[in-house]
Amino acid sequence: MTCPSFSFQECVTNPRELGLLADCESCFGLCCVALPFSASADFAVDKAGGQPCHNLSDDFRCSIHTRLRERGFPGCTVFDCFGAGQKVSQVTYEGRSWREEPGTARQMYAVFPVMRQLHELLWYLAEALTLEAARPVHDALRSALAETEGLTRESADVLEKLDVAAHRGAVNGLLLRASELARAGLKGKERRGADLIGARLRGAGLRGANLRGAYLIGADLRGADLRQADLIGADLRGADLSGADLTGCVFLTQAQVNAAKGDTATRLPASLARPAHWTEGGAAERAGGGRGRRSADGGGGERAAGGRGRRPRRR
């Protein structure tokens, strides 16, 4: 469902009403077709962009959905399209799939990553509007959100040619200002874009830190205090967040959390779900908090915990 009006903060800050929660049932399996991946610890095989994954069924469901990790596809449990898949499938292409109309395939695959970036921006803008301290820029945030949402409703031709990087750049300045207002007075560390790969940060005091775009791959963040830290675009792949406190983090996404390690003691923002793979046989704590293409046999074991997808390639 799409927000019918941007006049009400309650509406614009609700990811579900903004259509930012992935609904794989309404998608033509776009992340399983349009995006490439390489054989690695995350994916068992190579796949070119535009080539349907061999595990994708005719009904656009993943045939190994409940066994992705055992079958060598943990990367598929990480990605989040922010609802871009269903927007392209049902709005841009009005329910006509690339299987029904193969002539649309090339452009549909090109539009999908553009739409994903726009939806990711909508997610951040909606979150920024929940930050009380960012009230001085709320009007500008609402305008940016309305403009971005409008772009998502453009035609495939317009979307394919859209300079999404320029739009991201303009919105990013606004998000940065909102973040600064939210973290003002906390005297957080300045680590924007820092190379912290494998860093030993156990128990570190990172409250209110600026970790925008930081490389935290494999970092030991056990027990770290990350409250109110800005983690937009931070690469948390394999970072150990066991026992860490991330409450009040700014611009942390489900995909980032899914890519990290953690445990039952990790404290997350209320809007994010604890990944099932953090706890043995665990289930997500937030109803509908995850995503995932249901398996061909209807199974939904990983559905509530980020069940299908692919690691974001940019960052």
Residues that bind ligand SF4 (CB under 6 A): 32, 53, 55-56, 62, 64, 73, 76, 293, 308
Which residues, at least 6 apart from 276, have a Cβ–Cβ distance to it below 8 Å?
Answer: 282, 283, 284, 290, 302, 304, 305, 306
For residues 303 and 308, which CB has a smaller minimum distance to ligand SF4 in the complex?
Answer: 308
Provide the strand spans (E) within the chain: none
Q: How far apart are the first and last CA of the chain?
A: 29
For residues 115 and 128, which CB has a smaller minimum distance to ligand SF4 in the complex?
Answer: 115
**Minimum CB distance to ligand SF4, residue 98 (Å):** 14
- Contact 267/245 with Cβ under 8 angstroms? yes
For residues 14 and 51, which CB has a smaller minimum distance to ligand SF4 in the complex?
Answer: 51
**Minimum CB distance to ligand SF4, residue 32 (Å):** 3
**Minimum CB distance to ligand SF4, residue 61 (Å):** 8
For residues 47 and 227, which CB has a smaller minimum distance to ligand SF4 in the complex?
Answer: 47
Q: At what angle do helices 105-128 and 164-183 cross, to 10 degrees?
A: 20
**Minimum CB distance to ligand SF4, residue 159 (Å):** 23
> Between vectors from CA 192 to CA 115 and to CA 141, what angle results, nearest 5°?
45
**Minimum CB distance to ligand SF4, residue 54 (Å):** 7
For residues 33 and 244, which CB has a smaller minimum distance to ligand SF4 in the complex?
Answer: 33
Token pair, residue 58, equals 């005719």
